[in-house]
Amino acid sequence: MKKFLVLGVLFILPIVAYLFFASGIHNFAKLPIIEKEIPELDFTEEVKFKDKITVLGFLGTTIERDGGDLFNLNQKIFKTFREFDDFQFVYLVPETIDEAELKSVVDEMSLLVDMSNWFFIRTTQQDIDDTFQSLKSPYSLLNDGGSPYIFIIDKSRSLRGRDDDEDYGVLYGYDSSDIAELANKMKDDVKIILAEYRLALKKNNSDRKI
């Protein structure tokens, strides 16, 4: 009986392990490209999409939405990946925003984590509308000019997401007011795209040595 048990473990365990990792194909595949050639942020010199992995958001004039979007992102996403120099958070902000209120929120967040790779870009609502529309997502901006949805833009200015999501089919962006979505989907997807670029960098370095 012990012999059969040992043989069973030896044969079954690898199969179970394979099925486990196969079911997590998102963890090993490239994150799908949803839209290409997202326009560069030409209205600002402070930050650019090119050569950066960007989490793009649209703050609107309602800085602290229901659910505490910014704090959710800071804790669930940015805090985990802040050590990557080419990873940045960019929020487009209407010129009419209350700067004192925004500064107060940023200062409070700064007590929890280094905010040096967070950027809040004040610009016209037209620039914000144009950038949002360029993503070609099914979402719409709210009346305050912002959105709870945030987006992953890669170094080549392509929108990344999921093309086979179990809930939405095509997942363009992530609801920052939904902690479960941030923790279970976006965090996983950010890991994938960072791993993708790390592997590409290692391959390039290896090729140079050869």
Per-residue model confidence (pLDDT) at position 25: 40
Q: Which residues of 50-65 are buried (b: 16+ CB within 10 A; e: fewer)?
A: eebbbbbbbbbbbbeb
Q: Identify any residues that bridge with 120 across adjacent strands, giving them in sequence order.
A: 91
Class of residue 122 by CB neighbours under 10 A (exposed 0-12, middle 13-18, buried 19+)? middle
Of 111 and 188, the structure prediction assigns the larger pLDDT to: 188
Distance, first Cα to last Cα, the chain: 53
Q: Taking Cα atoms as reference points, which of 119, 69, 59 lies closest to residue 94?
A: 59
In which residue are the tokens 């089919």 written? 169
- For residue 33, CA distances in Å to 136, 156, 165, 195 come to 13, 11, 13, 15
Per-residue model confidence (pLDDT) at position 168: 95
Read out DSSP for 69-136? HHHHHIIIIIHHHTT-TTEEEEEEEETTS-HHHHHHHHHHHHTTS--TTEEEEEE-HHHHHHHHHHT-
Q: Would you report the helix, strand and coil content of the chain in percent, each value rounded to 5?
A: 45, 20, 35
32-209: what CATH class? Answer: alpha beta
Q: Identify any residues that bridge with 93 across adjacent strands, giving them in sequence order.
A: 122
Q: What is the pLDDT of residues 28-42, one digit of tens each?
A: 478 999 999 999 999
Instruction: Give, for 160, the enclosing helix (H) or strand (E).
Output: strand 159-160
pLDDT at 20 over 50: no
CA quadruple 62, 68, 71, 72: dihedral, nearest 10: -130
Per-residue model confidence (pLDDT) at position 49: 97
Q: What is the pTM of this model?
A: 0.82
**What does pLDDT average to over the chain?**
84
